[in-house]
Amino acid sequence: MKTINAKEVGKIETMQALDEIETYGYSKIKNYLDLDSISTLKDLVEGQYLKNIKSGLKGYSGVPERDANDKILYNLHNLDKVFIDLLTTEFIKSIATVFLNDPHYRFLPNDVPNYVLHYYNARSSGNALDLHIDSFLPFISSKPTMMQFVVLLEDSTPQNGCTIVVPGSHQSGRYTNRGLKKVEELTGSAGDLFLWDSRLWHGTRENKSKESRWALIITLAMWWIKPALDIPRGMNEKIYTQCTNEQKQLLGFCSIPPIDPIDRVNTKCGYEFLKSSIKDYIF
């Protein structure tokens, strides 16, 4: 069974990260995963990407032309359970719970996550990516509705297409100014974790090297935001049965809209509504 080892982030570093996200819109945790964990995740990503290429899958329908030179792998939660285990490491939970938990959820205890997975992919930069936001709408608030957690599987530099951000832009209440030249480059080493408010203006440099720059991109959102892909209906049955109740909820199985009002009338529900098998759900 594959496992990952995440850094135990202390209270002081956690509070610092919370303050940085609130003030600047982003933060960085060095050496969040150890080298063995990075090797495990990178082998899985590269192995599946090569399988896709060999099977004739050269790209995904609807991918913008700007991403033509990127290497992308979607739905990591269906590749191996170790990717789901990463979502529920203590530090990621501690940050996401503060910013994304709905305090009025009611159907689950307040000290467990009720936010959900919105998007989960691996990406290696190709072309430059213009400044953009991932929150759909810009707005000014003390809390975001979505966040990105990006785990570097390889070193990230300006030469190989590192992420760029505009500090503080998450509170601008505006869409991006793509002509802006003054940006911050998020460079780091394999195993580092970057996390940011989805309202933050961010993009990437062009990858001018001939090397890959694999990173895992985890997007978490408040439970009521529609996921980018239909995770419950597309879920791998074998992986689902290995998940804890907390992980099943994270995958959206506690916020599937009901079909029959006799069953329930609330979109959100508790662990008691979870099924033991995907086959037990009626989609």
- Each domain of the chain, given as residue ranges in start order, spans 11-231
Q: Residue 171: what are its φ and ψ, rounded to 5°?
A: -105, 20
Architecture of domain 11-231: Sandwich (2.60)
Are 152 and 243 in contact, with CB atoms under 8 Å apart?
A: no
The residues of the chain scoring below 50 in pLDDT are none
Q: How many CB atoms lie within 10 A of CB 53?
A: 11
- Residue 65 identity: E
Read off the tokens for 173: 């209440």
Q: For residue range 73-131, list pLDDT tens digits in order.
A: 999 999 999 999 999 999 999 999 999 999 999 999 988 999 999 999 999 999 999 99
- Tracing tokens 């959100």 back to the chain, one arrives at 268
* pLDDT value of residue 283: 83
* pLDDT value of residue 240: 98
